[in-house]
A and B are shown apart, each in its own frame.
Chain A
Amino acid sequence: MMDEILIQALSGLSRGMVLFVVASGLTLIFGTMRIANFAHGSFYMLAAFLTYSVATMVGDRTWGFLAALCLAPPIVAGVGALIEWGLLKRIATRPHQYQLILTYAITLIVADGIKMLWGSDYRTVARPAGLDGAITILDMPFPTYNAMLILVGVLIAVGLHLLLTRTRFGKTIRAAVADGEMIGALGVNVQRLFTGVFALGAGLAGLGGVLAAPVGSVSLGIDSSIIIESFAVIIIGGVGNVMGALIGAVLIGVVHAVGILFVPKLAIAFVFIALCAVLLIRPQGLLGRNT
């Protein structure tokens, strides 16, 4: 039984890692700009479809995936920067609801835009050679690709941590999360910071989309399910906190995976049960500061 729980926890961990990559971008955007970015799921979906196209164009499963890994996140980050610079900036001083609805409108436009460009069929992306098999852990097969996801997730977490603590850009972001009003007074170019953060966040969503593409299917509608879970993750972790997002994502992944062993019928509600439990104990999120 212990083995089973361990293997479940491991698969939950790999599930949590994709969620973390996507949610980390969302939490940075929210923390810095105070925008609940609904379009975040659209960035994820867009990257998944780009991965499909790049992989198909290249032809080879390994090189195709690597090419997508290099191309899709920057493209999506560029789209994000354009949206921030062309649209969000124009309404930056307006009340929150305008930004919220604007990002919601973008989800609609992207959803139909993807349908226009790629059609409505669902697609698959092959896993790179060497990552399509399974390794044996505790006498159970465990997909190599998922093991890779766990590694990549840890690497990205470390990378983001370094970015936020060691670079000027990162330190500015952290300052903005801590106190948004102070930032302008310190002589930081807030406009440029916001565009940069939004692009970074979109790029992370894109990275998540590339990593997720070979896992399941690439289809219309994957934006909607990831965005709600990502929101849950950042509420649980504490808004603006990347490590909080990591803990939140892993928590959701592992609770979900172990939970279905014991109460399978509640599987669809696990996210929200975890959310409510955290809110009851710490309304500001696990690593969030009191507001």
Chain B
Amino acid sequence: MTAQPLPPLQPAAGSAALSMRTKTVIVGGLIIGLYLLPFVLGESYLFLSIDFLIMALFAVSYNLLLGQAGMLSFGHAAYYGLGAYTVAILFNKLAVPVYIGLLASPFIAGAIALAVGWFAVRVTGMYFAMLTLAFGQLLHTVVMGWYGFTGGDDGLPVMPPDWLLPARNYYLFVLTVTLVSLAALRLITLSAFGTALNAIRENRQRAIFVGLGVRNYELGAFVIAGAFAGIAGAMRAPLQQMAFPSLLHWSQSAEPVLMALAGGIYTFAGPIVGAAIFVFTNFVITTYSEYPLLVFGVIVLLVVLYLPGGVAGAVIAAWERLRRRAR
């Protein structure tokens, strides 16, 4: 009973629907809109938007594994958390400002991802999920236990410089870093490397047969995804003014899977949509419900059962239907 990859949504479905020009206009408009947002939104919503941007990068980095290469990692939070700790430790031990620490985070997170991935890519499917989960928990345990270095369970305080403290400035900073990172990830998905990952997802056996170094490609994807998750985590630490171990915990690893699935894993924008839904839902539920886990769990159940392609998948399917009818 090996589950087959879901066929209905070709990765190209979204791109075929819109011309290159329309797409550029839409994306450009969105970016300008995002830069104007701080002049419209209240401070609280601005912080929520920062949250969204960070989660969007986290989710898109994860989707390089799940959506592009078909690798079901369940330990992605480890690299996200390591990014946060890179910033925090550099700040606390060497007084390195957070924006410099941010530059180091993808390298640290990527290096650890390389070490873990070296073991993990030897197996596939659910087995890969469990291995990444186990290694993620190992890293979580190390961070929890090495209190002299990491501050243990209480976390490690991070103080952003004064100019980064106001919501508007930090928003613009995070927006820029996120957009640059997303652009880089987009280029990677469109490159020959990305195409090879697609081929592996579609048919791993065939990819091996045609002589693709499948494991090396998978390892590459794992490291790149880890590195970008590290950047997301590095932006998290100054936002909370702290790095803390729950960022690496396995329940945090469920979040990018949730976001990717909710948004749709076969489009680049899917996980971004998923992140928006996730951040907003989570905020509303923990504000207004006495049983947030219950409500959240039920929502996830409904999405899994009734939105197999995620929100982006559903929107694209509806769009296709409309076009067909128009013709």
- The answer to A–B direct touch (Cβ < 8 A) is yes
Residues in chain A within 8 A of chain B (CB atoms): 30, 33-36, 87, 90-102, 104-109, 111-113, 115-116, 176, 180-181, 183-184, 190, 224, 228, 231-232, 234-235, 239, 265, 268-269, 272, 275-276, 279-280, 283, 291
B96 within 8 A of A: no
Give the size of the chain B interface in residues (CB under 8 angstroms): 46
Main secondary structure of the interface of B (DSSP, over half): helix
B contact residues around A107 at 8 Å (CB): 297
Check A105–B300 contact: CB distance below 8 A: yes
In the assembled complex, the Cα of A190 lies from the Cα of B304 at a distance in Å of: 22
**Known: A36-B130, A283-B122. Is A272-B138 also a contact (CB below 8 A)?**
yes
Check A268–B254 contact: CB distance below 8 A: no
B contact residues around A98 at 8 Å (CB): 261, 304, 308
In the assembled complex, the Cα of A99 lies from the Cα of B129 at a distance in Å of: 12
A contact residues around B70 at 8 Å (CB): 95
Residues in chain B within 8 A of chain A (CB atoms): 1-6, 66, 70, 72, 74, 119, 122-123, 125-127, 129-131, 133-134, 137-138, 141-142, 144-145, 250-251, 254, 257-258, 261, 265, 291-294, 296-298, 300-301, 304-305, 308
A contact residues around B298 at 8 Å (CB): 105, 109
List 3 tightest A-B contacts by C-beta distance, closest first: A108-B297, A112-B294, A109-B297
Looking at the assembled complex, report how far the CB atom of B176 sits from the nearest CB atom of chain A, in whole angstroms. Answer: 31
Check A102–B304 contact: CB distance below 8 A: yes
6 CB < 8 A contacts A-B = A90-B305, A94-B3, A228-B137, A232-B134, A235-B130, A272-B137
Chain B: CB-nearest residue to A194: B1
**Known: A36-B129, A91-B305, A101-B257. Is A112-B293 also a contact (CB below 8 A)?**
yes
Check A35–B126 contact: CB distance below 8 A: yes
Main secondary structure of the interface of A (DSSP, over half): helix
Chain A: CB-nearest residue to B254: A104
In the assembled complex, the Cα of A106 lies from the Cα of B297 at a distance in Å of: 6
In the assembled complex, the Cα of A268 lies from the Cα of B2 at a distance in Å of: 35
Check B261–A101 contact: CB distance below 8 A: yes
- Which of B4, B138, B301 interacts with A276 by CB under 8 Å? B138
Check B300–A101 contact: CB distance below 8 A: yes
B contact residues around A234 at 8 Å (CB): 130
- Which of A33, A34, A94, A183 interacts with B308 by CB under 8 Å? A94
